[in-house]
């Protein structure tokens, strides 16, 4: 059935509800739903966490018996399988809904097919309403299903001449308070925040969401293959409420871990080369296995460049403060040992530029390649 004029209005409401679950539902997607009859909202809900009832169930419970003959708007095609909870198609049919409108088809082959089940039972079904907006909201889930790895957003901050820290390593805080609040909101929406060992040593970050009222701390991931940088007195081991995962090389002697005894660090050994380096793809595969589907990568320069070169960054956020360092020995925003000519730069697409306070934010996606297919279709 073709969309009706008011379908987008109610789907926008469902998308707004779904956004309340972002960062809290992995490995499930964030989903919102509303029940409407004769232009009147009867009930609404969103999926709060894995194992809890789905958005459709909350919305139908709020609507009660009045849901019979109503329309359900939901941001993801209703599931048709029994997992941690019963299939949503069963709840929809039992409620006696006459029409279901969904935003994004379910890409999970295990759960997909709900639209066909409902249509076969005589329910009118309309799909694809505000689908681009829905795919944006579901990007980490779509990436996890399609590529079997987390969705990776890279955030790097620097001066207008591209420097991330002075020659002594100091980098806190280059950008404004407005930008810092925005970064903390990004952390609140991510399953994990990741930095390299040198950033841990130079910045001593907490990697929390303390600037977000009611925010929750993401899992904090440190990449320090040979434990050159992690120290028990660093703040990350005594602040925050989330796990701290230390990604180390499988070549690291077990005795080297002893200095972190007594800290809450959880070690994650990964294959390392002769120099102790860990490939980003291997690291992300391990995080995917831990049901972390959205990673916010916050540097430093070498770690960020390694992820870009391995083709596993899905979106970039470069934040530039209105300052100039004017020091050739200061640290660049990105740093790789690989020689690169001017006619083979890393290309970005879908650029968006905005001001956040006094700072300039540039966002975009790496150009798709054979090794890095697009997660979101533009």
Q: Which residues carry out catalysis?
A: 56
14 in Cβ contact with 75 (< 8 Å):
yes
**Residue 344 dihedral angles phi and psi, to the nearest 5°:** -135, 50
55-63 helix and 88-95 helix, angle to the nearest 10 degrees = 20
Please tell me what DSSP assigns to residue 287.
H
CB environment 59-80: b (16+ within 10 A), e (fewer)? bbebbeeebeebbbbbbbbbbb
Tell me if 97 sits within 8 A of 90, measured CB to CB: no
- Residues of 361-374 as b/e, b for ≥16 C-beta within 10 angstroms? bebbbbeeeeebee
Nearest residue to 100 (alpha-carbon basis) of 55, 47, 50: 55
Alpha-carbon distance values, 334 to 55, 57, 103, 187 (Å)? 41, 46, 38, 21
Cα(227)–Cα(351) distance, integer angstroms: 37
Residue 187 CB coordination number (10 Å):
25
CA atoms of 306 and 300, how far apart (whole Å): 10
Sign, CA torsion 179/244/189/210 = negative
Provide the CA 21 distance to its chain's centre, in angstroms: 12
Angstrom distances, CA of residue 70 to CA of 64, 89, 113, 129: 11, 15, 21, 18
The encoded tokens of residue 220 equal 């904090």
* 81 contact partners, CB below 8 Å, separation of at least 6: 87, 110, 111
């Amino acid at each position: 059935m073709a969309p009706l004029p008011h379908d987008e209005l109610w789907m926008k409401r469902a998308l707004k509800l779904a956004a309340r679950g972002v960062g809290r539902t992995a490995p499930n997607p964030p989903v919102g739903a509303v029940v409407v009859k004769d232009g009147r909202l009867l009930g609404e809900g969103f999926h709060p966490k894995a194992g809890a009832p789905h958005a459709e169930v909350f919305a139908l419970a709020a609507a009660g018996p009045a849901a019979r003959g109503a329309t359900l708007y939901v941001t993801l095609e209703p599931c048709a399988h029994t997992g941690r909870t019963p299939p949503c198609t069963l709840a929809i049919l039992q409620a006696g809904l006459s029409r279901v409108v969904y935003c994004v088809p379910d890409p999970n082959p295990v759960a997909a097919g709900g639209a066909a089940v409902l249509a076969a039972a005589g329910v009118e079904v309309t799909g694809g309403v505000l689908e681009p907006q829905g795919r944006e909201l579901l990007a980490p889930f779509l990436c996890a299903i399609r590529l079997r790895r987390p969705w990776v957003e890279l955030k790097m901050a620097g001066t207008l001449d591209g420097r991330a820290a002075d020659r002594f390593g100091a980098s806190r805080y280059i950008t404004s308070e407005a930008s810092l609040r925005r970064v903390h909101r990004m952390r609140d929406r991510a399953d994990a925040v990741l930095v390299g060992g040198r950033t841990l040593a130079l910045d001593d970050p907490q990697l929390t969401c303390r600037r977000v009222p009611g925010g929750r701390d993401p899992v904090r991931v440190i990449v320090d293959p040979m434990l050159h940088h992690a120290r028990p007195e660093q703040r990350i081991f005594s602040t925050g409420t989330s796990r701290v995962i230390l990604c180390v090389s499988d070549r690291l002697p077990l005795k080297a871990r002893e200095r972190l005894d007594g800290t809450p660090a959880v070690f994650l050994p990964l294959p390392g080369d002769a120099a102790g380096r860990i490939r980003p793809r291997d690291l992300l595969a391990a995080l995917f296995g831990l049901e972390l589907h959205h990673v916010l990568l916050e540097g430093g320069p070498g770690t960020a460049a390694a992820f870009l070169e391995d083709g596993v960054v899905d979106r970039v956020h470069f934040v530039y403060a209105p300052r100039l360092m004017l020091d050739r020995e200061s640290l660049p925003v990105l740093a790789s040992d690989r020689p690169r000519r001017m006619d083979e730069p890393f290309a970005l697409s879908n650029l968006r530029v905005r001001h956040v306070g006094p700072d300039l934010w540039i966002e975009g996606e790496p150009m798709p390649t054979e090794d890095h297919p697009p997660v979101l279709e533009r």
